[in-house]
Structure 1
């Protein structure tokens, strides 16, 4: 992979990378640092990437590891924080999205990360499993548990 191709791939994934880091880190500065450090590590370790078609899952795995490293280094809990996503002008849509976002952020980290990668960022089941370094069955189980928990949380909101 050339430097230009690497830059194009990273630019295309920046928003997704920020969303994933937001599901793991509280501070916007920490999120930005994690994404930046991830890109730097990915560039340095690029020769270790065996299959360029797996670049997206590979760099997301680096990002998850970096977020976890930062979390351990700061010795603090991952807290619920707002992900800034551009919303349509409709108040009802905004309110629905805020309620849904709030419910997702109440999920335990493992469930929240699976939901973010699969439903929000659109990774396949296999890619999500590779990023999380677990079997596909585990991802399916986490998504099922997350949907059940969200159903309960959202019923309380109504």
Structure 2
């Protein structure tokens, strides 16, 4: 029964991608709405400031809207969207290296995230940035290791070793609590 709904959901996503490629703004809005929590989680795993996270997501939406006609395989929309977001986050990180943060910001962007108050999510947030990004993509976004390697431009073996180090570190963090 669950398998059928997944197939129907995949079909509706591909239909929305096809419609969005033809200029249907409502179909594009549905695609973004379906992926907003994923976008927020990935941006949060890479960036620390509320405004940076919002900027990265906003720029990702604009770039994906402008470039959706160039998406080759409709079934990879989410991976393509996250790749754009990762590039935006990297650009923001690069630009922020030149500035000094003045104050800490509250991270409530307004996205409903069921993982917010879980002990595991809090532990993941304590990981080093490279481990946190890979862990978020693999465990929270269900992106395969091969795709993560492509998204981050790192070897697949590096993804596996980072996941392994992250699991060990998470075990230590959770054991202490």
Settle same-fold status: TM greater than 0.5. yes
SS in 2 for 1:123: coil
**Larger mean Cα displacement after TM superposition, 68-77 or 18-27:** 68-77
Q: Name 1:108's counterpart in structure 2.
A: 128
Q: Write the distance in 2 (CA, Å) between the matches of 1:87 and 1:74.
A: 28
Q: Write the distance in 1 (CA, Å) between the matches of 2:42 and 2:71.
A: 21
**Match 1:50 to one of 68, 72, 77:** 72
Q: Name 2:158's counterpart in structure 1.
A: 138
Question: Unpaired runs of 5+ in structure 1?
Answer: 89-93
How much has 1:13 moved relative to structure 2?
A: 0.6
2:50·2:107 contact (CA, 8 Å) conserved in 1? Answer: no
2:56 is the alignment partner of 1:34: yes
1:17-28 equivalent positions in 2, closer than 5 A = 17-28=39-50
1:57·1:130 contact (CA, 8 Å) conserved in 2? Answer: no
How much has 1:87 moved relative to structure 2?
A: 6.6
Question: Rg bigger for which structure?
Answer: 2
How many aligned positions are there?
A: 148
TM-score by length of 2: 0.72
Q: Write the distance in 2 (CA, Å) between the matches of 1:134 and 1:40.
A: 26
How much has 1:138 moved relative to structure 2?
A: 2.1
TM-score by length of 1: 0.79
SS in 2 for 1:3: coil
Q: Write the distance in 2 (CA, Å) between the matches of 1:133 and 1:52.
A: 21
CA RMSD, 1 decimal: 2.6
1:63-78 equivalent positions in 2, closer than 5 A = 63-75=85-97
Q: Write the distance in 2 (CA, Å) between the matches of 1:3 and 1:139.
A: 36
How much has 1:82 moved relative to structure 2?
A: 5.9
Q: Does the C-alpha gap of structure 1 residues 57 and 22 become closer, same or farther in structure 2, counting only changes over 3 Å? A: same
